[in-house]
């Protein structure tokens, strides 16, 4: 029985990823464990044999003996092997392997420190050339050297030097860097950056389904080991690829090994890892985004060509792209073509773009041997990401659309639109319908109205759309006669036919014309064919007239959907668009079908509803949603709604390029009206015109009502005046399946308050500066609008308006506009307490628009302790310039304190300091020693006021108990004010560690002072008994890879949290340990979190 247990444990230990440093774990001869150990500090793997003495007594009275079969092992490793039998006596196999890895890691670390990198040609001056947005010396944790399953595939020391130099260059530029190895033993470099630092507006991020807290990650995969820039550029074009690149979003700064896309089947990975597919996707997995596939195609097919063009001819990125595109399909451009002015264009950036995003290593460093390819790849990826709306997603060429878009799309080439739709690069229609059904209804209604009015000009061409009637005199356009059985829905055809299952047909009664929409028709799909009897699906009634009369039809005509939409005249195309949209079900029915999967996360695609939705109609629907260039959100929350609008349905609206909001804010800052920098005004237009407005934004390219006041966008102070412009001279029909029945649409726009600079300001506003206008709301009236809840309460926070220019709603009453409609102003009113990371980052005065400090890169998943040690051992700067560190520490020590907290002044008389607990284990002890050492190193390195926590080493009687003080809170926090009022400078906490640490979480509890309980209006995630209420500190949320530095940071952030309420102090008394334990268990039970299995051992200590 014991041997059977041992065999099972060996199989479990051999699972991929169980022990990252170990591979090929097996049981040899029934009593010897054999495995291969790999380390990034050692080029050669080591094979170990571990005989188990007294194996028959396993797991009670056995011991281990270990030796290496590999030659020339280092002295520290040899010394450790002599202690194995004593160290791991009677340990289970899992505990032994984990402790063995830790000890070997330490042995290699000791060896590397004794024999550090002499003669490395790394140039510290290059590392110092950091972006002026960042202080690289304060971000040692930005490099992640962990996550390896096998040793890096680096065959020469020069490659290792190149790797260090390249990653350091990327780190110095402000990026998070790391490396890992995928299951195929390829070497992968990860470069990432927080989305919040890219200067993208909140509206654009919402439109792109991107969160500011996420990281944009670029993975460079080297199948044959890491190679520098020169090696990559010199590879033969026909040889195997030395580099493959991937891009995506990740909730942590470095994705997991298993989430690295499979180059053989990348599309499958993107589907699995798409954020909208499943909520169970691991946080550390790289997820596809709206631009993943186009960007990866660009990076893997053209990126290196762009670099060659830049190095050879001195182009900017813009010039290199244009030169590359012009050279496609040609044998060779003329030699002097490189001198053409169109290729010699500088890179264009808006003033609002952060300088960090504008970084260009190729322009700053001319020598290719000193260039970092990972850094250049990330800089290029950032450029294309923030400028994605300027380029076609299919051909990657610059789009000259004449208007600014909030969402990336394709150029005017029909082939590009076809590939965009057919390859699934557009937005997920099913997600749009389920999340915003009324928005989809409105978009379809706008398109339907424009096509009905005969004003549609941007047709869905190149999508292989089929309609039942073609151009006059074209082949196959004549209807066929048949007999319809309306009860059985069968069609009897006397003559031979070629109808196929799945094909759609249109049916008209008698001799009705198929080209007329004034008579009713039926659309069905063919379910089966048996000789001349055709079984049809349930009919969809379209057209005008008595549609219910089809029950009396017998002699009919039918035409299959075979005519090519692209061959129709413009007039017939308008007719075809409305005819296809007529066949669609309403959005609620579509939503019900989508969500009718076997599980909530398994939605059904609309394409599978074959008996109800015509493929061509579905393509038109996709085109309508995909071509929308505005961010439109229906929100019935009173805090987001304008008051005084009666039963009008309200949608939040944003338009323009991703940086238009920043340009608008710059214009606002230049406004002479400082007290009321902006005003609000209405813009009305006929329903059919809004299909164009939501794609191109407000402009004055087309004249509809004359321009007696001059050229510009016309807006009014009153809703009634704008409502008059919504009338149409042509008859307009609503989409028959619309749940809204839209009659009119009016937008409410924020405008720079500078009427003296308007083209006209009375009787209406006429503004020619488009950057001065930002649409905020869209209001629609209709026949069948859902109830808007009657009279609305005033939003909790409203925007203070200029009394002379207050917009008037219906009934000529002033409207109240919520501050939430103005994202930039909302941030100012909702500033959160700055974290250590937000203070730490240095931003230059000319760095462009500021980004969210609370989402700085340092707040990411913490770097593993092993990775930090490897980074320190790999640092030539520390060995080469020891005096710099001493001077730095001395300068900090001599500077004036920036906090009232004084370390070492804690009154310890009431503290119960423990001795070594009886439950102490070798694994936990060694792990805690490393964690404590790392924490004290960080504490010694970082300024006290920036760190915000302090662990007093003199109070550590045992590594299983730490006393930590949290201090230097932002003065604006109620918690900081309460501390000052009570003449306190810190929150004192105790941390107790369990025997299974790091696999089980530590227990955090407040010792003093007392907090106001949550039920009495308190916050800060502190329970009534003083224990911290955080899922992170339970078995449900804990991860063994977390460093204690990151845990301390997250606990501090929890104390600073003002959501839902800020932490407040009750009195200065102490909590006792027993009530904290009870409160912790109660919190876990309340939230459904798992209490650690070894928590009872902490209680008994």
Q: Where are the domains of the chain?
A: 2-111, 160-260+284-291+349-386, 430-477+564-627, 479-561, 631-786+793-814, 908-1099
Q: How far is CA 1101 from the centre of its chain?
A: 44
Q: What is the pLDDT of residue 1001?
A: 94
- 466 or 288, higher pLDDT: 466
Beta strands 504-509; 631-634: pairing state? unpaired
Domain at 2-111: CATH architecture: Roll (3.10)
Give per-residue pLDDT as tens, 227-266. 888 888 877 666 667 888 999 888 888 787 666 665 444 4
Non-local (6+) Cβ contacts of 224 within 8 A are 153, 186, 240, 242
Confirm if 160 and 117 have CB atoms less than 8 A apart.
no
Q: Do residues 136 and 9 lie in contact, with contact meaning Cβ atoms separated by under 8 Å?
A: no
Measured over the CA atoms of residue 181, residue 186, residue 189 and residue 190, the dihedral's sign is negative
- Of 237, 386, 377, 493, which is closest to residue 848 (Cα–Cα)? 386
When pLDDT is cut at 50, 70 and 90, the band that residue 422 belongs to is: low
Q: Over 50: is that where the pLDDT of 572 sits?
A: yes
What are 533's strand-pairing partners? 492, 530
Q: Is 70 exceeded by the pLDDT of residue 377? A: yes
**In CATH terms, are 2-111 and 908-1099 the same topology?**
yes
Cβ of 12: how many Cβ atoms within 10 Å? 12
* Helix and strand element counts for the chain (H, E): 34, 32
Q: Where are the beta strands (DSSP E) in 67-209?
A: 67-68, 143-144, 176-181, 187-194
Fold of 908-1099: Ubiquitin Conjugating Enzyme (3.10.110)
Tokens 């050297």 belong to residue:
145
Sign of the torsion angle spanned by Cα atoms 483, 485, 489, 490: negative
Residues 6+ apart with CB under 8 A from 42: 108, 151
Residue 606 CB contacts under 8 Å (≥ 6 apart), including other chains: 429, 430, 433, 590, 593, 594, 613, 618
Q: pLDDT per residue over 746-785, tens digit each?
A: 999 999 998 888 889 888 889 988 888 888 899 998 877 7
Distance CA 734, CA 745 (A): 13
- How many CA within 13 A on the CB side of residue 644? 17
pLDDT (0 to 100) of residue 158: 36
Coil, strand or helix at 99: helix
What is the per-residue pLDDT for 185?
Answer: 63
**Residue 1022 carries which DSSP code?**
B
Give the whole-angstrom CA distance, residue 82 versus residue 459: 78
3-class secondary structure, 490: strand
Crossing angle, helix 922-941 and helix 865-873, to 10 degrees?
Answer: 60
Q: Sorting pLDDT into bands at 50, 70 and 90, what band is 1029?
A: very high
- 920-935: average pLDDT: 88
Q: Is the pLDDT of residue 445 over 50?
A: yes
- State residue 851's pLDDT score: 37
- Give me the pLDDT at residue 517, please: 60
- In this predicted structure, the answer to whether residue 143 has a pLDDT above a threshold of 80 is no
Question: In the CATH scheme, what is the code of domain 631-786+793-814?
Answer: 3.90.228
**The predicted structure's pLDDT at residue 897:** 65
Res. 215: pLDDT tops 70? yes
pLDDT, mean of residues 105-133: 46
The pLDDT mean for the chain works out to 77
Q: Taking the model in full, what pTM does it have?
A: 0.57
Instruction: Judge whether 66 and 96 are in contact, CB under 8 Å.
Output: no
Distance separating alpha carbons of residues 333 and 781, to the nearest angstrom: 58
Where do the DSSP E strands lie in 733-812? 742-752, 765-767, 773-782
> Could you give the CA distance from residue 801 to residue 676 in angstroms, rounded to a whole number?
6
* pLDDT the model gives residue 823: 54
Angle, alpha carbons 430-436-440 (nearest 5°): 75
* Sheet containing 649-654: order of strands: 631-634, 649-654, 773-782, 742-752, 678-685
Copy the structure tokens of residue 445: 């209604």
| Distant-in-sequence, close-in-space partners of 206: CB < 8 Å, separation ≥ 6 | 631, 633, 654
CA distance 216 to 212: 10
């Amino acid at each position: 029985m014991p041997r059977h247990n041992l065999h099972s444990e060996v199989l479990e230990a051999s699972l991929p990823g169980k022990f990252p440093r170990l591979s090929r774990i097996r049981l040899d001869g029934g009593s010897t464990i054999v495995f291969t150990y790999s380390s990034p500090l050692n080029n050669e793997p080591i094979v170990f044999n571990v005989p188990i003495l007294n194996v028959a007594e396993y797991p009670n009275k056995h011991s281990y003996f270990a030796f290496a079969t590999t030659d020339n092992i280092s002295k520290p490793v040899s010394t450790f092997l002599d202690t194995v039998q004593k160290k791991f006596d009677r340990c289970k196999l899992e505990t032994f392997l984990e402790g063995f890895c830790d000890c070997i890691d330490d042995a290699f670390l000791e060896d590397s420190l004794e024999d550090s990198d002499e003669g490395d040609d790394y140039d510290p001056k290059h590392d110092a050339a950091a972006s002026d947005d960042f202080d690289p010396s304060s971000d040692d944790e930005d490099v992640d050297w962990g996550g390896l399953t096998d040793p890096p595939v680096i065959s020469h020391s020069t490659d290792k030097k190149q790797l260090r130099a390249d990653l350091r260059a990327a780190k110095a530029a402000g990026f998070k860097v790391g490396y890992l190895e995928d299951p195929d033993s390829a070497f992968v470099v990860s470069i990432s950056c927080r989305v919040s630092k890219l200067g993208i507006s909140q509206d654009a991020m919402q439109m792109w389904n991107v969160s500011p807290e996420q990281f944009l990650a670029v993975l460079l995969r080297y199948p044959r080991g890491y190679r520098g820039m020169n090696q990559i550029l010199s590879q033969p074009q026909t040889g195997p690829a030395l580099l493959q690149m991937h891009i995506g979003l990740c909730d942590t700064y470095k994705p997991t090994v298993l989430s690295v896309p499979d180059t053989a089947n990348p599309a499958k990975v993107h589907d699995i890892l798409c954020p909208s597919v499943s909520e169970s996707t691991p946080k550390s997995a790289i997820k596809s985004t709206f631009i993943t596939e186009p960007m990866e195609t660009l990076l893997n097919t053209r990126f290196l060509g762009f670099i060659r063009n830049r190095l050879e001819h001195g182009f900017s990125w813009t010039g290199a792209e244009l030169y590359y595109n012009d050279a496609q399909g040609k044998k060779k451009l003329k030699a002097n073509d490189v001198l053409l002015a169109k290729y010699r264009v500088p890179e264009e950036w808006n003033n609002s773009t952060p300088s960090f995003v504008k970084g260009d290593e190729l322009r700053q460093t001319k020598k290719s041997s000193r260039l970092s390819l990972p850094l250049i790849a990330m800089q290029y990826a950032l450029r294309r990401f923030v400028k994605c709306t300027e380029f076609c997603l299919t051909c990657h060429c610059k789009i000259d659309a004449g208007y600014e878009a909030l969402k990336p799309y394709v150029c005017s080439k029909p082939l590009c639109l076809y590939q965009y739709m057919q390859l699934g690069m557009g937005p997920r229609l099913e997600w749009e319908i389920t999340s915003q059904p009324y928005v989809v209804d409105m978009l379809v209604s706008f398109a339907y109205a424009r096509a009905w009015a005969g004003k549609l000009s941007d047709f869905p061409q190149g999508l292989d759309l089929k309609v039942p009637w073609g151009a006059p005199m074209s082949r196959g356009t004549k209807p066929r006669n048949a007999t319809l059985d309306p009860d059985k829905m069968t069609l009897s055809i006397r003559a031979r036919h070629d109808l196929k299952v799945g094909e759609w047909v249109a049916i008209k009664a008698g001799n009705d014309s198929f080209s007329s929409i004034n008579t009713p028709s039926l659309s069905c799909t063919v379910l089966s064919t048996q000789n001349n009897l055709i079984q049809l699906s349930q009919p969809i009634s379209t057209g005008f007239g008595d549609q219910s009369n089809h029950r009396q039809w017998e002699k009919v005509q039918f035409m299959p959907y075979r005519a090519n939409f692209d061959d129709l005249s413009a007039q017939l195309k308008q007719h075809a668009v409305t005819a296809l949209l007529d066949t669609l079900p309403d959005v609620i029915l579509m939503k019900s079908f989508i969500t009718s999967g076997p599980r909530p996360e398994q939605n059904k695609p609309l394409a599978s509803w074959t008996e109800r939705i015509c493929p061509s109609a579905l393509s038109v629907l996709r085109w309508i949603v995909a071509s929308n260039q505005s961010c439109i959100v229906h929100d019935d929350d009173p805090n987001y709604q304008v008051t005084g609008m009666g039963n009008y349905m309200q949608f939040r609206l944003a338009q323009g390029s991703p940086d238009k909001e920043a340009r608008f804010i710059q214009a606002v800052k230049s406004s002479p009206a400082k007290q009321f920098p902006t005003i609000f005004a209405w813009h009305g237009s006929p329903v059919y015109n809004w299909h164009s407005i939501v794609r191109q934004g407000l402009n004055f390219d087309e004249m509809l009502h004359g321009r007696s006041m001059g050229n510009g966008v016309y807006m009014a102070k009153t809703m009634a005046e704008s409502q008059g412009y919504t009338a149409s001279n042509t008859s307009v029909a609503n989409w028959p399946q619309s749940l809204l029945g839209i009659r009119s649409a009016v937008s409410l726009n924020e405008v720079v308050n500078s009427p003296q600079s308007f083209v006209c300001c009375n009787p209406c506003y006429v503004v020619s500066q488009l950057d001065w206008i930002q649409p905020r709301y869209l209001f629609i009236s209709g026949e069948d609008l859902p109830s808007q809840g009657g009279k609305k309460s005033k939003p909790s926070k409203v925007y203070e308006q200029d009394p002379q220019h207050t917009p008037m709603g219906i009934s000529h009453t002033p409207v109240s506009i919520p501050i939430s409609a103005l994202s930039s102003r909302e941030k100012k009113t909702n500033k959160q307490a700055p974290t250590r990371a937000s203070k730490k980052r240095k931003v230059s005065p000319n760095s462009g628009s500021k980004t969210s400090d609370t989402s700085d890169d340092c707040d990411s998943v913490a770097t593993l302790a092993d990775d930090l040690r490897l980074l320190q051992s790999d640092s030539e700067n520390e060995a080469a310039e020891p005096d710099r560190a001493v001077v730095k520490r001395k300068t900090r020590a001599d500077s004036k304190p920036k906090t009232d907290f004084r370390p070492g002044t804690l009154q310890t008389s009431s503290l119960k300091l423990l001795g070594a607990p009886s439950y102490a284990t070798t694994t936990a002890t060694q792990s805690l020693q490393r964690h404590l050492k790392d924490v004290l190193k960080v504490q010694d390195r970082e300024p006290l006021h920036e760190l915000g926590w302090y662990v007093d080493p003199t109070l550590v009687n045992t590594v299983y108990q730490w006393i930590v003080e949290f201090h230097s809170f932002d003065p604006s926090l109620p918690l900081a004010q309460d501390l000052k009022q009570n003449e306190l400078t810190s929150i004192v906490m105790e941390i107790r560690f369990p025997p299974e640490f790091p696999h089980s979480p530590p227990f955090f509890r407040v010792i003093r002072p007392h907090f106001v309980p949550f039920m009495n209006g308190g916050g800060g995630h502190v329970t009534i008994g003083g224990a911290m209420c955080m899922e992170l500190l339970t078995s449900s949320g804990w991860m063994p890879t977390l460093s204690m530095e990151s845990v301390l940071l997250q606990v501090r952030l929890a104390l600073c949290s003002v959501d839902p309420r800020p932490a407040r102090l009750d009195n200065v008394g102490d909590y006792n340990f027993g009530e904290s334990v009870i409160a912790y268990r109660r919190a876990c039970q309340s939230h459904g979190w798992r209490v650690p299995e070894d928590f009872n051992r902490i209680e008994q200590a």
